[in-house]
């Protein structure tokens, strides 16, 4: 019995010795093989907000660990990398500098008109912003006098914190303010208002991958949804409400409840949208909560759309395009977490130039017979002058794609 115990003890000791030797050899080789050698090049420059893996920069060696480089702020980052080369282990330091090389965008210019002596904010009469800088420098280049009638040829210049700049020529027209005679004149015009017939859109665009519908608000008044349905309409997106200006209160559309109830009763698929001036992540989340409260337990086939299009106040937001997109994303993230589909509504120009990489469904506004927008989109608002039975005035016509349109 004593002999057996001795054998067991010896066996355990041998195992421990073997393990100890193996660990020692491992650490010895680790210490021996890891040497600092220089990667050439050992510094890299990448663009802000780009998606870059460390392995895409260091391509001549096999990295032990790969990382996604944070590019949300400009500046230099240092990485210690471990890699294999010729079956040996090495480590080295490299520097990655995140830069902003993108010029600001001027997205509304042209002619600015004012009257003699009238106060005018010329800087904010032209809309501009930057991908990274929340408050780029905006300035007017040239001489002008708002107390003197005339046309002034000026330049609008925008410069961001990385000294990227953009400029656009524009005209400032100063006029004499017309006298108020107290009489009103009416102009009788015989210009024919062109309409886009809903039936024509159905014939042209209806297929196995599409549904044809409309979006509505109080401006369409009382709607006969049974006639709308019988005209071939398959869905309707209803304005839930709107915000009363920048930092203003939210107002429920006075026709929202009856539109939602009657559209569902007619068998139409429904979604809602909120027209907003939201200027912060916190405000957007509060608005999302407000929207869900108004909706209650109603089922929405087409979810909730975030509609921000008040570009005349953009300069006052002091938001980069990146942070502006985060404001919209926070609304859509919240409603999606609560089980609703989220859609970003915007026009072709702003989707291409202002909104940064968008992760939500897109409701594209582009009034044309054939859109040239190349990004993915789920819904296309193709006109605002639609005519359909059941609605007296104009209405927006939309095409919904069952699979995202590329």
Q: Token pair 């040829």 is at which residue?
A: 153
Task: Supply the CATH number for residue 237's domain.
Answer: 3.20.20.80
The domain boundary, picked from 145, 175, 205, lies at 175
DSSP reduced 3-state for 41: coil
How close are the terminal C-alpha atoms of the chain, in Å? Answer: 80
pLDDT at 203: 96
Give the structural domain span for 51.
Answer: 34-99
Confidence of residue 90 (pLDDT cuts 50, 70, 90): confident
| In a domain? residue 343 | yes
Alpha helices per DSSP H over 189-244 = 198-205, 225-230
Total number of domains constituting the chain: 3
Q: Are residues 117 and 85 in the same domain?
A: no
Mean pLDDT lowest among 18-27, 232-241, 365-374: 18-27
**234 and 313 housed in the same domain:** yes
The verdict on 170 and 220 lying in the same domain is: no
C-alpha closest to that of 347 among 319, 317, 321, 368: 368
User: How does pLDDT run across 275-307, given as a tens digit for each residue?
Assistant: 999 999 999 999 999 999 999 999 999 999 999
**Residue 115 Ramachandran class (φ > 0 left, ψ -120 to 50 alpha, else beta):** beta
Among 128, 143, 175, the domain boundary falls at 175
pTM: 0.85
pLDDT value at 254 more than 50: yes
Read off the CATH number of the domain in which 47 is found.
Answer: 2.60.40
146 and 215 within one domain:
no
Query: 156 and 216 share a domain?
Result: no
CATH value at residue 135: 2.60.40.10
The reported pLDDT for the residue numbered 29 is: 45
- Within this chain, do residues 39 and 110 fall inside the same structural domain, yes or no? no
pLDDT tens readout for residues 182-202:
554 555 555 567 899 999 999
Task: Take residue 224 and report the two structure tokens written for it.
Answer: 């006969």
Half-sphere exposure of 392 (CA within 13 A, CB side): 6
Which tens digit of pLDDT belongs to each residue from 328-374?
A: 999 999 999 999 999 999 999 999 999 987 789 999 999 999 999 99
pLDDT over 70 for what percent of the chain?
Answer: 87
In this structure, the answer to whether residues 200 and 133 fall within a common structural domain is no
Residue 265 located in a structural domain: yes
The pLDDT score that the predictor gives to residue 59 is 80
């Amino acid at each position: 019995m004593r002999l057996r115990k001795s054998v067991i003890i010896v066996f355990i000791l041998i195992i421990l010795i073997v393990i100890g030797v193996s660990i020692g050899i491992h650490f010895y080789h680790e210490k021996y093989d890891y040497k600092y050698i220089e990667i050439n090049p050992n510094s890299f420059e990448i663009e802000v907000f780009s998606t870059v893996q460390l392995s895409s920069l260091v391509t001549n060696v096999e990295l032990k660990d790969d990382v996604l480089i944070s590019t949300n702020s400009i500046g230099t980052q240092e990485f210690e990398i471990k890699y294999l080369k010729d079956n040996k282990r090495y480590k080295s330091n490299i520097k990655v500098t995140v830069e902003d090389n993108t010029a600001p965008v001027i997205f509304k210019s042209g002619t600015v008109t004012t009257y003699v002596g009238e106060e005018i904010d010329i800087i904010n009469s032209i809309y501009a912003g930057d991908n990274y800088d929340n408050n780029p420098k905006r300035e007017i280049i040239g001489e002008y006098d708002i107390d003197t009638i005339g046309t002034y040829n000026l330049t609008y210049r925008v410069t961001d914190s990385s000294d990227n700049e953009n400029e656009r020529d524009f005209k400032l027209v100063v006029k004499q303010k017309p006298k108020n005679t107290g009489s009103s004149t009416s102009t009788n015009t015989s210009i024919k208002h062109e309409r886009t017939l809903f039936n024509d859109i159905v014939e042209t665009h209806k297929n196995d991958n599409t549904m044809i519908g409309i979006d509505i608000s109080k401006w369409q008044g009382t709607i006969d949804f049974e006639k709308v349905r019988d005209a071939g309409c398959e869905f309707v997106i209803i304005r839930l409400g709107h915000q009363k200006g920048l930092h203003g209160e939210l107002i429920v559309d006075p026709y929202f409840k009856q539109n939602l109830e009657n559209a569902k009763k007619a068998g139409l698929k429904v979604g809602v949208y909120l027209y907003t001036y939201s200027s912060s992540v916190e405000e957007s989340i509060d608005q999302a909560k407000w929207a869900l409260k108004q909706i209650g337990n109603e089922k929405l086939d087409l979810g909730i759309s975030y509609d921000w299009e008040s570009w005349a106040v953009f300069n006052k937001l002091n938001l980069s395009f990146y942070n502006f997109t985060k404001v919209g994303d926070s609304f859509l993230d919240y409603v999606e977490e609560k089980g609703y589909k989220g859609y970003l509504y915007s026009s072709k120009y702003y989707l291409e130039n202002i909104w940064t990489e968008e992760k939500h469904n897109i409701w594209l506004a582009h009034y044309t017979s054939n859109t040239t927008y190349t990004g993915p989109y789920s819904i296309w608002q193709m006109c605002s002058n639609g005519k359909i039975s059941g609605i007296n005035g104009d209405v927006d016509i939309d095409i919904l794609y069952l699979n995202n349109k590329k």
